[in-house]
Structure 1
Amino acid sequence: MDILLIAGLWLDGSAWDDVVPELTALGHRPVPLTLPGQGDGAASATLDDQLEAVLAAVDAATGKPLVVGHSAASTLAWLAADGRPEKVAKVALIGGFPAADGRAYADFFAIEDGVMPFPGWDPFEGADAADLDQQARDRFASAAVPVPEAVAKGVVRLTDERRFDVPVVVVCPEFSPAEAEECIAAGDSPELARATHLEYVDLDSGHWPMATRPRELARVLAEVADS
């Protein structure tokens, strides 16, 4: 199965470099996506530009792909299900829930000169970054790509209720499946609360398992694709 890989904020397709060979060895075709505004100098890129690139990848896939969204990009993966409900086989969300219709995509940190730069590690101390050593943190920070303002503040638009019939798997790294279920039951994710087919998979890692547990993450994604 084609597996489209969308990394979260400040990351491009290279974030999946250690996951790609593992997925290939497991018999799948991983397709890491580098979207407009992710290192191409296009600070004017918008959320719609990024979504168009994701939908183009869905359209180009062989058969129905598994669309994987990490962190904030869980919303992009869910937007793909909304835009192509008949073409997306499944959605896997790693460490994130999709934003609801009418909400900003990822307006979480300060905007400087038209972009949202990586804010440093203070906001992520604790479970998020617990398994990242100093070398890994330095490598992440040096490679971080500022997020264009029109992406971070882009308004999410969901229009096709057939998205709720696309199977969803929530991969739980820095939180447990029980905690994820509790959050959804409490109303933290109105979208996932309406999903017809919703499963949870535990993964013992911090927020960036593609960097710290690539083999384990690949195995989880392969199992999602195969099931």
Structure 2
Amino acid sequence: MDIILVPGLWLDASSWDDVVPALEAAGNRPLPMTLPGVGEPAERSAELGMSDWVDAVVDKIDAADGPVVLVGHSGGGNVVWGAADARSDRVARVVFVDTVPPPPDSAISEFDLVDGVVPFPGWDFFPDEDVSDLDGHTRARTLPLTRSVPARVPTEPVKLTGDRRRVPVTMLMGWMDQQQMEAELDQWGAYADEYRAIDDVTVKKIGSGHWPQFSVPDRLAALINESVAHPEPAVDGDDRT
């Protein structure tokens, strides 16, 4: 199975390097992406927005010989959901990595601009629950992998008008299992409505912070492979199908 790997903000295709070997060993063909404008100065990226990122993934889907699985980490979840919306007939499953399916016209977030782009704010910017499993060595090793993103991308709403909700979904959540997530849904507003409208959802707890591709890449790869090969039914309240 072709697995298109879409990174979140500030990351490129290399962020999946520790995940790729296990996906290949399972017989899949991982296709990690670097999205348009990542690492580029404002003069070359100012016009790029979320729609351009979605279009890049759609182009990758169209180039594949058959159905694909889309994997989106963090803000990449908005990207893959937009692509699934545009090509629901070509997407076998969408896997969200520590993020949730966005409702129509929602954006990722707003961050400070520096020289017309959004630079990585540093590991200390994030709450402890997101980064507590990244030790000093991992932070030092991965910091050079971060890149700026185009200014418009984090705040441009994702346009959703198609049949995305009939595509099967797996949500691989860092510290949250299905029971915890369901308990909080009423606080999610339109995000809860989007989740409840999806025909087929499986929720699994990774047991990690927000960057499992860095902290527990083997565990993340195993869960992706499992989602692609044989999604499991709910067990002990830990998953939802």
TM-score, reference length from structure 1: 0.93
Partner in structure 2 of residue 156 of structure 1: 158
3-state SS of 2:199 partner: coil
Offset from partner CA, 1:195-217 (integer Å, 9 cap, x none): 11011112111111111111111
Moved >6 Å (runs of 4+) = none
Partner in structure 2 of residue 21 of structure 1: 21
Distance 1:23 1:153 in 2: 32
Letter in 2 for 1:165: R
3-state SS of 2:34 partner: coil
- The answer for unaligned runs of 5 or more in structure 2 is 231-241
**Range with bigger deviation, 41-50 or 94-103:** 41-50
3-state SS of 1:76 partner: helix
Q: Percent identity of the aligned residues?
A: 38
Partner in structure 2 of residue 170 of structure 1: 171
- The answer for unaligned runs of 5 or more in structure 1 is none
Equivalent residues in 2 for 1:1-227, closer than 5 Å: 1-41=1-41, 42-44=44-46, 45-104=48-107, 106-160=108-162, 162-188=163-189, 189=191, 190-227=193-230
Distance 1:183 1:6, change over 3 A: farther
Distance 1:43 1:93, change over 3 A: same
**Range with bigger deviation, 33-42 or 57-66:** 33-42
**Range with bigger deviation, 147-156 or 27-36:** 147-156
Contact 2:73 2:97 in 1 (8 A): yes
Contact 1:187 1:193 in 2 (8 A): no
C-alpha deviation, 1:15, in angstroms: 0.3
Contact 2:85 2:161 in 1 (8 A): yes
Report the number of matched residues. 225
Contact 1:131 1:205 in 2 (8 A): yes
Offset from partner CA, 1:122-158 (integer Å, 9 cap, x none): 3323221111011211233332111111111212111
Letter in 2 for 1:212: S
3-state SS of 2:103 partner: coil
Contact 2:133 2:208 in 1 (8 A): yes
Distance 1:40 1:62 in 2: 31
Distance 1:64 1:184 in 2: 31
C-alpha deviation, 1:180, in angstroms: 2.3
Letter in 2 for 1:118: F
Distance 1:101 1:9, change over 3 A: same
Contact 2:12 2:34 in 1 (8 A): yes
C-alpha deviation, 1:40, in angstroms: 4.7
Distance 2:164 2:139 in 1: 36
Offset from partner CA, 1:32-53 (integer Å, 9 cap, x none): 0111012355422221211111
